[in-house]
Structure formats: structure tokens, C-alpha cells
Structure 1
């Protein structure tokens, strides 16, 4: 090739690139059914060229819709990437009551369903990056925290971790009024001129018929609760993250944004404060400044991604280990905190005179199978109205409400797993290696359209084995359903299970033991017993609002010791499962963010 030919080819390539950049990409309009059947509308811009380097998902701010993020597809000038932008439920062209969702957690799960939807286009989690604004940025941060997806990167623009309501005690007033009167709607006070300096964006906002100004009170209240949880526990987030902060934001506070950044555990993290920017960071007049930061950050993560942080040693050096060690450290008896928790322990012992639930917890441990079975039954007992009221207060503790929701999620996923195994022509032999009394498994299989071939329940406790066997007898179940005493951490025994399990269940066990070597031994034993395609259902506790109360006031099943729990982030738990030879395929989490139930496939 002559130098003249080379120059001509380079000139032709430059013209082609410029033409591609100048042409507006056209969106396809699509919908999908989310977890509860709600139809979600979204736009899809295919990559320019034969194959995409990845997919970038756009999440709009509150009150808006994906159409108001569409300008980014061309302005980012990343033609080799596919783009997706949804309208959140209750917004834009998606279904649902305007400004409403059943819960904040339902919106977060919508994101999980959205990611599964675009998987139909061939994009796995490692092919995905997120760009989100304001309320959308809080949702995506919650999804990354709670579901621990293995995505390339996340860009959070002006996340609404703390909204400026301006009226004194407005947040408390909304929560109180909702408690007294039920759900109601709050109209946005924000004028378009406080969102951006861009005159065209201001005019389009004011004329847009798809803008949804009302927002349901339950979403506002839950936004504050979940935002506080995500900010304080951002050490659980290891995804490469870029944070863009609008320097002159009238809508949200800067403090929690900076706290979120400091707490992030991501090896690749960037923070940029954009002077003079109003809240609509990516719709500001000078947004090119922000886009010129986003583009290289994302391109770098797709080209040379950061190596994933190994979390399997977090029991030795992680922040949740530090937290558990702190909770296990005794307090000076005469210190204010020492006296407070001593009074708490005394009140529980006194409450046990009236409450059968508290009495069971003191006798067998608050983490025992007997206590959990009592919580599952959820029937206040005791002699007289006062006793039943005390027992109801015990049963309505947020942790026990989470436990009951976990049971519902277990039953759902066990039913789904049995149906999937049967559809694949497998007999569905089930083992639960630490079943407690086994109530949730027995309730789940009772609802199956086609029963599993066998159910083997196991537990280390003679009490649990005896009461679980009684449950089986009381239900007149066939001999294919059995209960045996066994150690859930005996890898050799687990590896020799006959028949080999098609579905293994581990619920509420690993959360009670801090040592990851024990968990790895148990998972390894199950993996050696299972054939490829077999399913594992496992639970986890990535967060809990009452960790100190539990550690300082409640006793465990281990000889009356203090019940000190070491949390595992969802990322840590999923890595332990992956190392054992399983691939996570589904997950549920309760509306408070306390307990997860996940499904993984043996690979």
C-alpha cells in the first residue's frame, strides 16, 4: 500500500466515523412483563455495526421516563454499544398506577427482571453497564448492593439519597400521616428551572404529558430508609463506580453522596463534583463536561475490566468481621450502653414469663429451629390479653417479619425448582441439610403440581429431628419423605448422599456461622453429590437493622452464648457458592433488605 492510498483510506474512515456520529440512532419500542405481571415499556437502540461491545442501561430520575434519557444515546457517541432505557412502573408508558409501586423493593426487583429481559438479546451481566440519575441512581445502587450482579460498571449521577423537602419535619410527617391514614400521594414541588440551565430541557419538561408529578407516600418513606441502608453499607458494593455530583443541586443533599463514595469498596471508583450544575446532571446545559467523564470511564471498564475482589476471605479480614468482633466485645457494665443492654436482657427474661415465644427462645436459643417454627406459625399465645399482646410484639419484630417473608420466598423457589426439574425429566430428589422442623419444605412440596420423587430432611438437633418427624407423621406423608439426624458440615456424608439430590436446600444455616471454611466444606460436599443441572437453594443475611440488639440481648442455640452474627454481603455468599461449582440464576429479597433466597445451578 502506498502512502497516498493509506492517507485516502484513513480519510475515508474518518468520514465514516463522523457520519455515524452525526446520524441519530433509532430506538425500537418494546415491553416485558415484570415479576408481578406489570408491563414495563422500554426503548432499545442496537449497536451500530455487526456486533456490540456491550450494553448500557439508562435509568431516569423520579417523575420522568426513559424518553428523557434518550438524548444520551447520541451525545455519548458510543456507537459500538447497545443502549436500553426503561420507563419505571407507574411512569411514562409503563403500566401501573401513576407514581406508585407496591414497595421500593418491587422497583429494585423490576431492574433484576429488566436485566434478565435484555439477556434475550445475548447480553450477560458481564456485558452490562448502568447510567442512572437521582431516584434511578438509588434504585440501581440498591440492586447492585442487594443482588450483587457481576456487571462492568455503574455511573450514578446526583443520587437522591437525601431529598431536600424544605418543610421542617416533612419526612416524619409523611411517615406519620401514612401510618394514620394509609397511602397518599405527594406532588413534586420542583420547577423545571431548578433542574437545569438548559432552556430547551426546561420547555420540554413543562410540556411533557408523560411527566408524573405525584409520588406515593410509601415510596418516599421507603426511599429514605433504603438510601440510608445503602449509603451506610456501601462497603458491600465492589462494582466499578463513577459518582457525579451536581455542585448547585437544589433537590438533593450532597453529604450522603460523599459518604456513599467514601464507603464504596470498588477498586475503580471516581468522584466528580460539577460546579454550577443543577440536579438534572445529564440534562444540564453544559452536560458535555459530564459525558466526557462518563465515556472514558465506561470504555476503560469494558476494555480492561478491574479484576473482581476476592470476598471468600472476608471472614478473616472483611468489614463485617470487624463489625462482628465489635459486637462480641463486652461493654463496661456501668457504662450507659452497658446499663441499657442489661435492662434489655432483663426485660426479655421478664417477657418470657408471659410470652411463649420468648420462653422458647430462652430455652432453645433464639436462632433455634424451635423458635423459628414458632415464628413461622405466627400465632400470638399466652394466658390473657396482656400475655398475647407481649407475644404479638415479639412476633412482629422486623427480623421475624423478614423470616416469615423468607419462608414465602423459599416456598416459591422450591416450587419453581421442582417444576423446572420435572420439566427437564429429572425425578426431583430433595435434601435439606439443616431443616429445623422442616415446616417450610413440607409446606412447599404440598403445593407442587407434581410431587418430588423423595424428600430427605436433616438436622443436627434431636429436638428438631423428633418434632420434624412428628410433622411428617401428622401430615400422613409417604415413606419417600424422611427426617434424619446429620451434620450439615460433614462433607463426606453430604458427598455420599443417596439418592443423589437434584435439589439441595440450605436455609438459615450459613448465617449462623462466621467461618467461611465451614461453609465451603458444606457446599463442596453438596457439589460432589450433585450432577450438572442440579439446583441449590440457599439463604443469606446481607443486612439487619437490629444486629446490636440481637448480639447484646439474645442468646443462641450454642449453650446460651450471645447470638453474635457476622453478616455476609450477597457478593461474598455468591462467591462461596460459585467456588463450589454453582452458578446463581435467581434471587429474592424481602422489602426491608434483610434476607435473601437464591437459586444456583450445578455446572
Structure 2
């Protein structure tokens, strides 16, 4: 059968020429195909006609700048723009059917990059023939550097791509057709060449992240792209379902070799076991894949499940409804037990209130300073250093109240509070040094602790006076 031609408009307004092959019978799967450098999708008519005969629909396109697509010849600005083109063509595949990405040579490089990127709907698998991962020949460093430099101000300039047409196939008839095809080109733009080789070689580093089912075919005698590089990518990729075929006595275009029919059949045989959709979802002959007719088939089982699901849910719900009372009764017990620990903490809460009842008298309005005293408590040690003498003489009083030492909670709490309040006069003391009468008037609150301290120094004075009398 012949292909159906069409056009798509890319995001940057470049027109992409498309070809599609649709099965005469039910459609079981779809394939998006990407051709190689310097060629076009029309060269694979003999391949995808057989795909269609086996129920596999194919959507292909001419890359921008190649074949019948528009844009500067043999030019693509970046890998990102090229990935957008691939995504646009792939979006035309029926979402209800298994979908495979297939690429050859430079198109194989693009297919691998596309399937490496995670999307909402990953393809079912990837089919690659003779991918460009590394060239099989040495690319001149000088030529590459000159091209990269020129691409900065003239990226669409085309130069010879360096490919020898006789290396594409052992079949001389296929080589002759390649040379005579006016849609083929032996040129490549310096802008495309600048990113094509680096992005191809990058695949070896990305291989460990590759997980999709993969069929990789390469001609063992390929002189354009490296078969060893394909072997390396295959060995490094983490796909659980992967197949590598290095075909002996074949050059670069395995789909245009003398034994091409064997290669085509191998691909078809690899696709069929990986079809996840049942044949009942197949698309009838000649109908557009966008028509929602394939959804009619699954609608039959969709109506049945509710009938069987509802009774099963009711039975499941009735059983657990009888048993839940027990778990509900137990949590009530758990709620009845915790009150005991709740009753105990109040006892601890009852003790602190006692010291709290006394300070209100001294601090009528400043509840806030009661909460913020810790800061002044840290600073008072300085004034304590200045009063070591009364502290040395106070031991006599410390010896008498051992009882208070045995019961530190109350006296410590009571004395601590005046100490907490004392910092205020201490802070104001520097100003009061010149006018001492004021602190004497404000000190009556601390009369309980100071009388003993002041009494002793008075006795000392009396002692001195008695000595004079003697």
C-alpha cells in the first residue's frame, strides 16, 4: 500500500511533511518513525507497507530542512526544537493503543533522547537501527572547530557531511537509488553539526537511566556509525526487556540491505508480543485513529463491573460494621483511664500557687516582671561580689536555721522572690548613691532579711566605743 501524505506546523511555524501507513484490517499498534541525516521518510515505503499488513500503523515525517519539509536546508537550531517536532508527530498516535518510537541513524539518536525523557505517557518500546552514538570514522577536530565558530554568526551555512553513499548498503541497487533520489542531500549545516555529535556521544553517559523495552539492530560492518558504540549503550542501559542484534555482512542501512526482509520481519515479531491492548480495541479499516470508536469495545466490560462490585462492597461493609463497636468501646476505656494522671498533676500545680499567693502583695501591678526576672537574676552576682563582708558574717545565722535547710522549698522560693525584686533597687542604686535617703525609704519591704545584717555593724561600733572608754 502507499502512504497518506500531510503536513504539520511546528511551534516555530516550520511546516513538517508527514507520511502515514494505515492497516487494511484492525490496527493493533502505532509506530512513530524518525529518519536519518540527509534522507527523508519516503525511502521506507517498502518497510512500513509490511508493518501495515501486520496491523501496525506508522506515522513518519521529514525532519525540518530535509525532504519535503520547510526550513533552512539540513538545519535544526537545537536538540530541544527537534524534540518538540518528534513530540508533535508522536501525539498523533492513538492513545488507546500500544505506541512505539522507531529511528534510524541520526533518527535513532533522536529516538533514544526522546524516550529518555519521562512523560505522562511513555512509549511501549523503542526500536533503533544503526543509531548515531559515535561516528565510525574520525571527524576532523579542525573542521569541527571551524564549523562551530562559523555557526555563531552563520549557522545555516551548509558543508559536505562526509558520508560515502557506497557505505550505506551492500546492495548496489539501493546505493543507486540513494544517489538518484533528489530529496536526499549530502550536505549538513554547521549549526546542526555543532550540536549533533556532542548530543549523540552524550547517550553513553545517559544509558544507565534508560529503562524502556529496547530493540537495537546494527550492521556489524557499518562504516558510518559505530556498532561498538551501540554495544556499549546496550550493555549500560538498565532495561529489563532489551534485545541487541549485530547483523553480520550488513552495512549502515539494514532496512535497505539484500536481506532486509529478515530485518523487517524481526522487528514485527518483536512488536507483537509486547502489544498490551486486546484485539477488541483495534481500529477498523480506513478510519482515523483520532475517532473514539475503539473506546466502544471497552464500554461493554465497564457496564458489568458495577453489578458485581456493588454486592461485594455491601457484603464487605456489613461485616466490618458489626465488629467496629468493639474498637469503639475500647477507646472509651482508654479515655476513662487517662483522667487519673490528669488528677495527679494538679497536686504539683497546687504547690507552686503558694509562693504565687504571697508575691502579689509586693508586686501589685507588675505580673510581667515576675515572668521576666530570670534576666536580672543572672546579673545580680556583680552586686553580690561587692557585699562579701556581710556574707562572711552571716554564717552565724546560717548555723541557727538548719531546719530551713532541710525544708528548702518554701524559704528558697520566698527569699528568691525578694531577690528577684531587689535587682530593681540595685539597678537604680547608682543614681541613689548621691542621694541615699531614697533607697532607705523604699527598703522597708525587705526589712525581714536586713535587720540582722545591719544590727551587727552597729554592735561593732559600740564595741569600738567601749574600747575607748577602757
Matches within 5 A, 1:436-451: none
Change beyond 3 A, Cα 1:108–1:170: farther
Equivalent position of 2:116 in the other structure: 145
Equivalent position of 2:83 in the other structure: 108
Indicate the SS of the match to 1:142: helix
1:218 equivalenced with 2:194 (yes/no): no
1:173 equivalenced with 2:145 (yes/no): yes
Matches within 5 A, 1:161-310: 161-166=133-138, 168-170=140-142, 172-174=144-146, 176-178=148-150, 182-183=154-155, 184-303=157-276
Change beyond 3 A, Cα 1:179–1:28: closer
Structure 2 gaps, min length 5: 279-470
Change beyond 3 A, Cα 1:54–1:77: closer
Equivalent position of 1:132 in the other structure: 103
Q: Are the aligned partners of 1:126 and 1:151 in contact in 2 as well (CA < 8 Å)?
A: no
1:37 equivalenced with 2:13 (yes/no): yes
Matches within 5 A, 1:471-490: none
Whole-angstrom distance in 1 between the partners of 2:231 and 2:151: 32
Change beyond 3 A, Cα 1:228–1:168: closer
Change beyond 3 A, Cα 1:238–1:167: closer
CA offsets, 1:309-349, max 9 Å, x none?
A: xxxxxxxxxxxxxxxxxxxxxxxxxxxxxxxxxxxxxxxxx
1:60 equivalenced with 2:35 (yes/no): yes
Q: Are the aligned partners of 2:24 and 2:53 in contact in 1 as well (CA < 8 Å)?
A: no
Q: Are the aligned partners of 1:34 and 1:114 in contact in 2 as well (CA < 8 Å)?
A: no
Task: Report the TM-score, using the length of structure 1 for normalisation.
Answer: 0.43
Rg comparison, structure with higher value: 2
Matches within 5 A, 1:275-424: 275-303=248-276
Equivalent position of 2:431 in the other structure: none
Whole-angstrom distance in 2 between the partners of 1:170 and 1:284: 34
Whole-angstrom distance in 1 between the partners of 2:213 and 2:271: 9
Matches within 5 A, 1:513-532: none
Whole-angstrom distance in 2 between the partners of 1:230 and 1:304: 31
Indicate the SS of the match to 1:242: strand
Structure 1 gaps, min length 5: 1-24, 306-603
Equivalent position of 1:572 in the other structure: none
Change beyond 3 A, Cα 1:140–1:171: farther
The structural deviation recorded for 1:193 is 1.8
Indicate the SS of the match to 1:70: helix
Whole-angstrom distance in 2 between the partners of 1:289 and 1:52: 22
The structural deviation recorded for 1:243 is 0.6
Equivalent position of 1:160 in the other structure: 132
Change beyond 3 A, Cα 1:301–1:275: same
Q: Are the aligned partners of 1:40 and 1:95 in contact in 2 as well (CA < 8 Å)?
A: yes
Change beyond 3 A, Cα 1:293–1:94: same
The number of residue pairs the alignment matches comes to 276
1:81 equivalenced with 2:56 (yes/no): yes
Matches within 5 A, 1:484-563: none
RMSD: 2.2
Whole-angstrom distance in 2 between the partners of 1:175 and 1:186: 9
- Could you say which structure has the higher strand fraction? 1
Whole-angstrom distance in 1 between the partners of 2:151 and 2:72: 21
Whole-angstrom distance in 2 between the partners of 1:82 and 1:126: 10
Task: Report the TM-score, using the length of structure 2 for normalisation.
Answer: 0.55
Whole-angstrom distance in 1 between the partners of 2:190 and 2:107: 17
CA offsets, 1:91-121, max 9 Å, x none?
A: 11111111011112211211011112x14xx
The structural deviation recorded for 1:181 is 5.8
Q: Are the aligned partners of 2:23 and 2:52 in contact in 1 as well (CA < 8 Å)?
A: no
Whole-angstrom distance in 2 between the partners of 1:175 and 1:57: 32
Indicate the SS of the match to 1:233: helix
Indicate the SS of the match to 1:161: coil
Q: Are the aligned partners of 2:35 and 2:103 in contact in 1 as well (CA < 8 Å)?
A: yes
